[in-house]
Amino acid sequence: MNPQKAHIICKDLFKIFKVADLEVVALRGLDLVVNRSEVVALVGASGSGKSTLLNILAGYDIPSAGQVTIDDRDLIDMKGREMEKFHREEVGFIWQEASRNLFPYLTSTENVELPMLLADTSNKERRERAAHLLNMVGMSHRLSHTPDQLSGGEQQRVAIAVGMANNPSLILADEPTGELDDKTAAEILDLFGEINRVNRTTIVIVTHDPDIAYKVGRVVVIKDGKTSSEISRQDTNVQISGQIDKEIPLQESLLVDSNGRVQIPEDLIETAGITNKVSAQIENHEIVIKPSINSKPESK
C-alpha cells in the first residue's frame, strides 16, 4: 500500500440546503485531499460546513455539485446498496454526542457486534472481533454494560470500537471529544493515534481543541464552506496524539484552490487597508497584493 496515495479527494464541492424558500450554501467550492493513513483535523467556526463535509464523506449526504472520490471511487455515482455497503463497511463514523453512537439498550459487546451482524460476519468472528476491539479501546472490563452504566469517555471508547467493527480504512469523527474533560479527551486522541499506527486507518477529525495544531500532523481550517488555510507540523512522524508538543515547529499556509483562489485572512486585509479591490504584482519574485488606487474607501 502506498501511503502517499490520495484516499479522499474533494474538488470544488458545493452543498446547498433548501429550507422553505431559502437556500443555505454550506459548502462553496471546497477542495481537500487526504492521503491514505493520514490524520487530518478540521477546524473552523460553527456553521462553516465541517459537519456537512463529514456527512458527505460518510455517504450520508450528497453534494449539490463538485467531485468527491474515496479510494478512486466517485461517491456521487454510488447508488442505494453500494452506498449502504460503503458507509457500513468502509467508514467508521463517530459523533460528538456519545448517546448517538450507541444503542441504549445494547451492551458494549452487542453495540460493537451490530455493524458486523449487518455485514454478515459469522457468529464466532463477531464475538472474537468485538472482544478484540473492546480490549483495544481499553473497555474489556465493561463488556456487558449498557451505555447508561458508562461514563462519557467510556461511551466514546465503545463508540470508537463500533466505528472500527468492520475494519474500515477511514474513520470520520465529528467533535468526538467535544463533551469530554481535557484528560479524557487526550486519552481518546491517543487512542486514535494507536488505531492510525496499528491499522494505518485514515482519520479525519473535527475539533474545537485550541491546541490541536500541536497534536496532529495537519490541521485544515474551513471558512465559509471552503478550505482556507492549513497548519502542519514539520519534522514529525506523529500523526495524532493527546499530548501537546510545542517543540515541533508549525508551518501555516494559505490554500490555493483549483481555480487559483486564496482567502486572505481578515487581519491582513485590515492591516493592509484593503477594501474591495487589490492590485497584484511581482516584486522581487514575490507576489505583492495591495489596495488598488481606485478601490472604495472603507465604509465605517
Span interacting with ligand ADP, options 50-58, 117-125, 152-160, 253-261, rule CB under 6 A: 50-58
Choice from 7, 36, 50, 218 touching ligand ADP (CB under 6 A): 50
DSSP the chain: --TTSEEEEEEEEEEEEEETTEEEEEEEEEEEEEETT-EEEEE--TTSSHHHHHHHHTTSS--SEEEEEETTEETTT--HHHHHHHHHHTEEEE-SSHHHHS-TTS-HHHHHHHHHHHTT--HHHHHHHHHHHHHHTT-GGGTT--GGGS-HHHHHHHHHHHHTTT--SEEEEESTTTTS-HHHHHHHHHHHHHHHHHH--EEEEE---TTGGGTBSEEEEEETTEEEEEEEESS----B-SS--TTSPEEEEEPB-TTS-BPPPHHHHHHTT--S-EEEEEETTEEEEEE-TTPPPP--
Q: Which three cell numbers stand for residue 4?
A: 502517499
Binding site for Mg ion (CB under 5 A): 51
Choice from 24, 62, 65, 272 touching ligand ADP (CB under 6 A): 24
Does residue 47 touch ligand ADP according to CB under 6 A? yes
Does residue 26 touch ligand ADP according to CB under 6 A? yes
Residue closer to ligand ADP (CB basis): 28 or 85: 28
User: What are the C-alpha distances in Å from 269 to residues 23, 266, 274?
Assistant: 28, 5, 5
Span interacting with ligand ADP, options 41-49, 71-79, 115-123, 182-190, rule CB under 6 A: 41-49
Does residue 60 touch ligand ADP according to CB under 6 A? no
Q: Which three cell numbers stand for residue 71?
A: 479510494
Closest CA to 203 of 188, 193, 213, 211: 193
Does residue 48 touch ligand ADP according to CB under 6 A? yes
DSSP 272-284: TT--S-EEEEEET
Shortest CB 214 distance to ligand ADP, Å = 22
Does residue 168 touch ligand ADP according to CB under 6 A? no
Shortest CB 52 distance to Mg ion, Å = 8
Shortest CB 242 distance to ligand ADP, Å = 23
Does residue 130 touch ligand ADP according to CB under 6 A? no
Residue closer to ligand ADP (CB basis): 17 or 105: 17
Residue closer to ligand ADP (CB basis): 24 or 272: 24
Does residue 46 touch ligand ADP according to CB under 6 A? yes
Shortest CB 196 distance to ligand ADP, Å = 23
Residue closer to ligand ADP (CB basis): 51 or 108: 51
Span interacting with ligand ADP, options 40-48, 157-165, 241-249, 279-287, rule CB under 6 A: 40-48
Does residue 202 touch ligand ADP according to CB under 6 A? no
Choice from 12, 39, 40, 49 touching ligand ADP (CB under 6 A): 49
Q: 52 touches which of Mg ion, ligand ADP, none (CB within 5 to 8 A by kind)? A: ligand ADP
Q: How many CB atoms lie within 10 A of CB 61?
A: 17
Residues forming contacts to ligand ADP in the complex (CB under 6 A) are 17, 19, 24, 26, 44, 46-52
